């Protein structure tokens, strides 16, 4: 990839009674990681959802992985986007291995038991693979999300407060995952409050203040 994986121009998001994002211009160059900082309520998660193609903007235009926002092309690129949100998206009655296998089979379009177990080993969960998700700590469930990203190998990685819920010995997974994506020519967008922890992991930073992008630095 040589063109930006994401290019947004004059993006606005309005909800009843409120303007959440205003005139957002943002490029995510291929092979780079960008951190998005801002206080609670500044619009960070809303912008992340726009980039993830989960929320259609009220105004403006842009492309994600070459597909125009709001177009039918979006369906074809969503499998190339990896999103880790605030809460682990696991089925509580399935084991960690079963959750990983399900995510892998959906992403790869075939049974992927070996890939799932290898990814769980990479995130330090091999010994707990047969434990139901409901019986695991939040930190363990978060690790499964990172295993899922290693399996699907996204071209666009979106992390919303990725360090939250991870035990300190697992913080290195964030750096590993970002490096894994950017080394393949993809991009990462990392939403965070903890600037000191995130800045060493990224090439560029941007800050949202009351729905306006106040900075975008190389």
Give the tens place of pLDDT for each residue, 132-154.
999 999 889 989 999 999 988 99
**Is 80 strand, coil or helix?**
helix
Contacts of residue 181, defined as CB under 8 A and 6 or more positions apart, other chains included, come to: 33, 82, 153, 154, 155, 156, 157, 187, 188
Residue-wise pLDDT for 84-100, tens only, equals 987 778 899 999 999 99
Distances (CA, A) of 104 to 115, 136, 161: 7, 20, 23
Contact 173, 123 (CB under 8 A): yes
Beta strands in the chain (DSSP E): 6-15, 18-28, 33-37, 59-64, 67-68, 81-84, 156-160, 187-192, 204-209, 212-217
* Domain ranges across the chain: 6-89+153-217
**What is the C-alpha to C-alpha distance for residues 110 and 173, in angstroms, rounded to an integer?**
26
Torsion-angle region of 70 (φ positive above 0: left; ψ -120 to 50: alpha; else: beta)? left
Contact call for residues 203 and 33 (beta carbons, < 8 A): yes
User: Helix, strand, or coil here: 81?
Assistant: strand
Instruction: Tell me what pLDDT residue 83 has.
Output: 92
Please state the φ and ψ torsions of residue 117, each to the nearest 5 degrees: -70, -35
Mean pLDDT, residues 152-180: 88
Q: At what angle do helices 96-108 and 113-122 cross, to 10 degrees?
A: 120
Assigned token pair, 155: 């071209």
3-7, 139-143, 183-187, 212-216: which range is least confident on average? 212-216
Is the CATH code 3.40.50.300 the one for domain 6-89+153-217? yes
Contact yes or no for 86/48 (Cβ under 8 A): no
Q: Is the pLDDT of residue 161 over 80?
A: yes
Task: Find the mean pLDDT for residues 30-39.
Answer: 93
Rounded Cα distance between 53 and 206, Å, is: 20
Non-local CB neighbours of 184 within 8 Å, separated by 6+ positions: 153, 155
pLDDT at 1 over 70: no
């Amino acid at each position: 990839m040589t063109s930006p994986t994401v290019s947004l121009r004059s993006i606005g998001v309005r909800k009843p009674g409120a303007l959440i994002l205003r005139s957002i211009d943002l490029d995510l160059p291929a092979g780079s990681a960008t951190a998005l900082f801002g206080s609670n309520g500044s619009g960070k998660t809303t912008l992340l959802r726009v980039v993830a193609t989960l929320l259609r903007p009220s105004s403006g235009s842009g492309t994600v992985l070459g597909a125009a926002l709001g177009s039918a092309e979006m369906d074809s690129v969503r499998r190339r986007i990896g999103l880790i949100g605030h809460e682990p998206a696991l089925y509580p009655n399935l084991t960690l291995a079963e959750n990983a296998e399900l995510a892998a089979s959906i992403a790869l379009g075939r049974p992927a038991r070996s890939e799932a177990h290898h990814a769980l080993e990479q995130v330090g969960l091999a010994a707990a693979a047969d434990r139901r998700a409901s019986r695991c700590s939040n930190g363990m469930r978060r690790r499964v999300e990172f295993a899922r990203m290693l399996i699907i190998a996204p071209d666009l990685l979106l992390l919303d407060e990725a360090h939250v819920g991870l035990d300190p010995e697992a913080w290195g997974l964030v750096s590993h995952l970002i490096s894994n994506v950017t080394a393949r020519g993809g991009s990462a967008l990392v939403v965070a409050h903890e600037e000191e922890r995130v800045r060493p992991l990224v090439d560029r930073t941007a800050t949202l203040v009351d729905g306006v992008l106040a900075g975008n630095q190389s």
